[in-house]
Amino acid sequence: MLRLDKTAIQTDVHKLFYGSSGKLWEGNEWIETNGLGGWASSSLSGCNTRRYHGMLVAATKPPTERMVLVNKLDEIIVINDEFIPLNTNKFREAISPQGYLLLTEFKKDFFPEFIFESHGVVIKKTVAMVQGENTTVVLYNVLKASSSFTFKLLPLISGRDYHSLHSANEEFNKKCTFENGIFKTKPYASTPEIFISIPNAALREDPNWFYQFDYAIERYRGADCEEDLFNHGTFSLKLNAGDSFGVILSTEDPTGRDPFQLFEIERKRKAQLLEGKSNNSTVEQLTLSANQFIVTRSENLKTVIAGYHWFTDWGRDTMISLPGLCLTTGKFDDAKRILKAFAESVQNGMIPNRFKDGNEAPEYNNVDGTLWFFVAVYKYLQTTQDRNFVLNEILPILKDIVDHHFKGTLFNIKVDEDNLLHAGEVGQQLTWMDAKVGDWVVTPRMGKPVEIQALWYNSLKIFASLLETNSQSQDAAAMETAAEKTKESFLAKFWNQNGNYLYDLIGEDNQPNDCIRPNQLFAISLPFQLLEGEKAQAVFNCVEEHLYTPVGLRSLSPHDQNYYGIYQGDGKRRDASYHQGTVWSWLLGPYLDVMMRVGGDHAHRLSKKVITNFTYHLEEAGIGSVSEIFDGDAPHHPRGCIAQAWGVAEVLRVIEEYQLS
């Protein structure tokens, strides 16, 4: 359990609003998800600091088309006619009210809990989401009170796409109903109905716009940052010491539903996720976080949200994450449904790079996601021994993929005469280093990237092993021969004799690129190694010296002239630094894979130290989760998504695989 006291909370809020050494960073946040792509989330202070924060963010066409429906529930207690706000809001000119000053404790075990104290009243607030529904439950418990008092709630509503912001307008539907403790409204024709269940409360209707909420992180990122929200009125209840009540926010009619029963169902569900796990806080937090990324794509299929708050499901991220999210946690059926979802979407021998919002066609502009699909299938089979599914349903898909790669497919992806895999087209970013600003591809890597060769070699070896398992020995032998040719060419062309490490790329002009990047690790970390012995050790030493940080690996050596040490500024500046020095948490997975392979007698002890040095991060940014990226320069402030699937997955995977807890 994570617990922060009043001093820690106020220090965090000061960093968020006023900056640390003059440079704002994201501060601490919490998120609860619903298995559909929706969430409830905010900052630790309760002040929304991103456009993506909200108490009910619904995936209207799971897992996409998310809408921010209820942005906030502002809370006020009234004692002897004195109004005491518990909420915190930031406007353009002020932080008002400053309810975070009354927040004495924050706890995160299964759910985020907030303890407020003022004038002898102590209230606990707990937030949960219902799995499989666009429903948020908020529980309030009066722990202490010397006399009765009034508790007021002000729902603040927009009803907009989660990427956009909301301004006061005449089209907004201000009508609402409140009957039998259930409030109902529908902001726009395009939004779902919003239901708020507050039993035993009275509603004083006083419809008003609240203007110019200012989102600190959006402002810092150079984006539009102000929003107007609508409030229909104020709910009031009389409370005493020992009283409890629950609020249900939902897109479904909550008539007859008990918020405490819904909460208990969620508590039991989360407890079951930890059954059989070691009594280790790090493993427990990562296991609970891992479950948040697995979501429904259709009635029988699952997928993986790449990161909260703004990503949908990406093929590359999904395949890299699958072993840690599903196989490590025993969610084998989810793994199968995920593999099936992407197998059914293969076109031209490629899995989708990402599924887009709405009914737009998937994008296929990637070279590595399809190859990671082979690795995910291989690990699934190793773990589950589900030969029937893999051989009958997946193997034909793998054959189609391999055939397309040999004869050539989109974006000039084609096996060259040397049996290495070429990929590249002007204006396209095909590897995981995929930042693009307008027509500018920041790291194009056209030609033969090092990790693509490692993945291609593994794909051939995996395909060969599955053919052999399926009694197709002649075909298997042909694939083994192709894999061996790939290995020979790789060893001949990618070793940087002067630097004693692997080139990152053999370019279109057949010239090697000697940038020191983490991609070379995959020649050693994947199931079938391309490099062993002294050269493998040399690669690890190079990465350790130039790229390792406690929270992940830098994407470029700090000695490179193109290195960015701080991920900041507007969109163009951030994208320019995204893979040019920025630290990526997910790379701790392959880093520890290689450490365990080359580290000898001390490998386990050293790997355990790497995890120990990392765990402080679970108490910052997205509490209990793993951030997408970090500054390349110390102190490595967390940036990007507050909860990233492959960051959580890879750290959890190596902890469990190598028993590092």
How many residues belong to the chain? Answer: 661
Residues contacting 278, CB < 8 A, separation 6+ = 661
pLDDT digit string, tens, across residues 242-299: 999 999 999 999 999 999 999 999 999 999 999 988 789 999 999 999 999 999 998 8
Pair 627, 641: CB distance under 8 Å: yes
Distance from C-alpha of 381 to C-alpha of 245, rounded to nearest angstrom: 48
Which residues face 202 on adjacent strands? 236
In the chain, count H helices and then E strands. 17, 37
Residue 538 predicted with pLDDT over 80:
yes
Phi/psi region, residue 407 (left: phi>0; alpha: psi -120 to 50; beta: rest), is alpha
In the chain, the amino acid numbered 247 is V
Pair 643, 624: CB distance under 8 Å: no
Residue 18 predicted with pLDDT over 70:
no
Distance from C-alpha of 345 to C-alpha of 337, rounded to nearest angstrom: 13
Residue 159: φ, ψ to 5°: 85, 60
Which residues face 160 on adjacent strands? 68
H helices of 331-469, in order, are: 332-343, 368-384, 387-389, 395-407, 450-469
DSSP-derived secondary structure letter, 324:
I
Pair 48, 40: CB distance under 8 Å: no
Residue with tokens 């059954």: 275
Residues contacting 614, CB < 8 A, separation 6+ = 550, 551, 588, 651
Residue in 82, 87, 122 with CA at minimum distance from that of residue 101: 87
Distance from C-alpha of 112 to C-alpha of 109, rounded to nearest angstrom: 7
Angle at 119 between CA 117 and CA 122, to 5 degrees: 30
In the chain, the amino acid numbered 657 is E
Pair 96, 212: CB distance under 8 Å: no
What token pair was written down for 569?
């500024």
What token pair was written down for 357?
């919002």
Residue 23 predicted with pLDDT over 70:
no
Residue 443: φ, ψ to 5°: -125, 80
Distances from the Cα of 436 to the Cα of 351, 367, 443, 447, angstroms:
21, 16, 8, 18
Question: Which pLDDT value is given to residue 356?
Answer: 77
Residue 10 predicted with pLDDT over 80:
no
Residue with tokens 């989760």: 625
Question: Which pLDDT value is given to residue 439?
Answer: 85
Residue 581 predicted with pLDDT over 50:
yes
Distance from C-alpha of 342 to C-alpha of 28, rounded to nearest angstrom: 34
Residue in 135, 136, 118 with CA at minimum distance from that of residue 127: 136
Lowest mean pLDDT among 276-280, 344-348, 525-529: 276-280
Distance from C-alpha of 564 to C-alpha of 31, rounded to nearest angstrom: 29
Average pLDDT of 493-508? 97
Average pLDDT of 396-420? 97
The pLDDT confidence band at residue 8, using thresholds 50, 70 and 90, is confident
Q: Does domain 2-270 have CATH number 1.20.950?
A: no
Residue 485: φ, ψ to 5°: -65, -40
H helices of 274-358, in order, are: 281-291, 315-322, 332-343
Residue with tokens 């002040």: 47
Peptide bond into 396 cis (omega under 30): no
Q: How many CA atoms lie within 13 A of 483 on its CB side?
A: 22
CB atoms within 10 A of CB 424: 22
Residue 21 predicted with pLDDT over 80:
no
Distance from C-alpha of 133 to C-alpha of 35, rounded to nearest angstrom: 8
Question: Which pLDDT value is given to residue 3?
Answer: 78
Q: Furthest-apart CA pair in the chain: how many Å?
A: 86
Pair 66, 158: CB distance under 8 Å: no
Lowest mean pLDDT among 215-219, 269-273, 623-627: 215-219
In the chain, the amino acid numbered 282 is T
In the chain, the amino acid numbered 586 is W
Question: Which pLDDT value is given to residue 167?
Answer: 98
Distance from C-alpha of 329 to C-alpha of 649, rounded to nearest angstrom: 10
Pair 140, 124: CB distance under 8 Å: yes
Q: What end-to-end distance do the CA atoms of the chain give, in Å?
A: 16
Strands 182-185, 176-179: pairing kind: antiparallel
In the chain, the amino acid numbered 7 is T
In the chain, the amino acid numbered 228 is D
Question: Which pLDDT value is given to residue 326?
Answer: 98
CB atoms within 10 A of CB 570: 11
The pLDDT confidence band at residue 17, using thresholds 50, 70 and 90, is low
Distance from C-alpha of 291 to C-alpha of 108, rounded to nearest angstrom: 16
What token pair was written down for 240?
């005493």
Pair 39, 33: CB distance under 8 Å: yes
Average pLDDT of 364-387? 97
Residues contacting 315, CB < 8 A, separation 6+ = 342, 351, 352, 353, 354, 366, 369, 370, 372, 373
Residues contacting 497, CB < 8 A, separation 6+ = none
Distance from C-alpha of 406 to C-alpha of 419, rounded to nearest angstrom: 9
Any idea where the domains of the chain sit in the sequence?
2-270, 274-657
Distance from C-alpha of 460 to C-alpha of 374, rounded to nearest angstrom: 9
Average pLDDT of 374-394? 98
Residue 658 predicted with pLDDT over 90:
yes
Question: Which pLDDT value is given to residue 276?
Answer: 84
pLDDT digit string, tens, across residues 464-486: 999 999 999 999 999 999 999 99
Question: Which pLDDT value is given to residue 569?
Answer: 82
Lowest mean pLDDT among 13-22, 58-67, 340-349: 13-22
For 78-90, the DSSP string reads EETTEEEE--EEE
Q: How many CA atoms lie within 13 A of 115 on its CB side?
A: 13
The pLDDT confidence band at residue 9, using thresholds 50, 70 and 90, is confident
Residue 646 predicted with pLDDT over 70:
yes
More confident residue, 441 or 356: 441
Residue 656: φ, ψ to 5°: -75, -40
Question: Which pLDDT value is given to residue 371?
Answer: 98
Distance from C-alpha of 502 to C-alpha of 450, rounded to nearest angstrom: 8
Pair 362, 352: CB distance under 8 Å: yes
Average pLDDT value over all residues in the chain: 95
CATH number of 274-657: 1.50.10.10
Query: How would you write 155-192 as a 3-class SS string?
Result: EEEEEEECCCCCCCCCCCCCCEEEECCEEEECCCCCCC
Question: Which pLDDT value is given to residue 7?
Answer: 80
